Amino acid sequence: MFDILIIGAGPIGLACGLAAQKAGLSFLIVEKGCLVNSLYNYPSTMTFFSTSEKLEIGGIPFVTISNKPNRAEALEYYRRVAFANHLPVNLFEAVTGVKKDNAVFTITTSKATYQAKNVILSTGFYDIAVNLDIPGENLPKVKHYYKDPHYYALQKVVVVGSSNSAIDVALETYRKGAEVTLVIRGSEVSERVKYWVRPDIINRIKEGSIKAYFNSHLKAVREFEVDIETHEGLITIPNDFVMAMTGYRPNFEFLKKLGITLTEDKFIPHYNPETMETNLQGLYLAGVVCGGLDTHLWFIENSRVHADMIIEDIVGKSC
């Protein structure tokens, strides 16, 4: 019987573990993938928007050479935090069910069954891609995740989207020799793009190095070409790869299965903003999972406070 079982070993899940440890509570962190699985699956060249101190958890310093840390530095930091504090983390163990009987949760996983007085759900949103729902999206050439630009050298690449991930893919693959075409639903590059990157992509588009179709959307994908619906009509261009950087979403089906109430429009889960407790007593949310489809609401830097809020509520109830 644990005081808390934490689902998800991302930065916020680890922060919850650190807070629980500090409060003297018994806990276990269960993760279906590797440690900080979402960060591991980020592009190998990714640099954070935030400075390192805003990514710190548990008051443990995150020291980097440059002002903005990269993926490798973040993986090293969170791994060392977990190791140095001896956090109990079970990796590659997927949670398959959570049931509450009276005041006790029974949590079943792919490897075992646990009981806990409280459950913290900190599962992020990076595991389920938002589909385009167009013909040909299931072809192997269509990618919703991006790792390294070298793979696309000398290839004709269509990038769908206008936010940070799409613009990073467009610029990095272009600089490794890809012929890049951007397909953007809106009339301009998103204002959310990193302030030091946005002028770069705008200039590459202006000079013609990267072709961009605004107010457009990808209509269909075939083995060697794609159809793009533009404001001037349907066009067909040769293509080797499609990078669908259309965003990701939390596992809403899992949240519903647990009994968490979601709003009808943006699937935002119900929780108390002062304690992070959901409509199911003893079940808490932490991190970006709180935003539903609004995945731009929560980040590591503004949701790490959830850990202290949750543990303070749990400790207060037990007093």
Residues 112 and 254 in one domain: yes
Pair of tokens at residue 231: 């404001």
CA distance 84 to 78: 10
Residues 10 and 123 in one domain: yes
Residues 158 and 252 in one domain: no
pLDDT at 105: 97
DSSP sequence for 155-217: -EEEEE--SHHHHHHHHHHHHTT-EEEEE-SSSS--TTS-TTTHHHHHHHHHHTSSEEESS-E
- For residue 76, what are the contacts with CB-CB under 8 A and spacing of at least 6? none
Is the Cβ–Cβ distance between 184 and 214 less than 8 Å? yes
Written as tens digits, the pLDDT of the chain (319 aa) is: 999 999 999 999 999 999 999 999 999 999 999 999 999 988 888 888 889 999 999 999 999 988 899 999 999 999 999 999 999 999 999 999 999 999 999 999 999 999 999 999 999 877 788 999 999 999 999 999 999 999 999 999 999 999 999 999 999 999 999 999 999 999 999 998 988 999 999 999 999 999 999 999 999 999 999 999 999 999 999 999 999 999 888 889 999 999 999 998 889 999 999 999 999 999 999 999 999 888 788 889 999 999 999 999 999 998 7
Residues 10 and 54 in one domain: yes
Residues 190 and 259 in one domain: no
pLDDT at 76: 96
The enclosing domain of 239 has a CATH number of: 3.50.50.60
Residue bearing tokens 């009339």: 187
User: Which of helix, strand or coil describes residue 262?
Assistant: strand
Report the domain count for the chain: 2
User: Which of helix, strand or coil describes residue 99?
Assistant: strand
Residues 172 and 112 in one domain: no
pLDDT at 318: 83
- Select from 244, 266, 282 the last residue of a domain: 244
Residues 69 and 22 in one domain: yes
Residues 155 and 207 in one domain: yes
- pTM (two decimals): 0.89
pLDDT at 12: 97
- Select from 209, 244, 279 the last residue of a domain: 244
Which residues form the domain of 90? 2-128+248-318
Residues 211 and 187 in one domain: yes
pLDDT at 166: 95
pLDDT at 65: 86
pLDDT at 49: 84
- Select from 179, 209, 244 the last residue of a domain: 244
For the four alpha carbons of 59, 63, 66 and 70, in that order, the dihedral sign comes to negative
pLDDT at 101: 93
pLDDT at 132: 94
> In the 8-state DSSP scheme, what is residue 278?
B
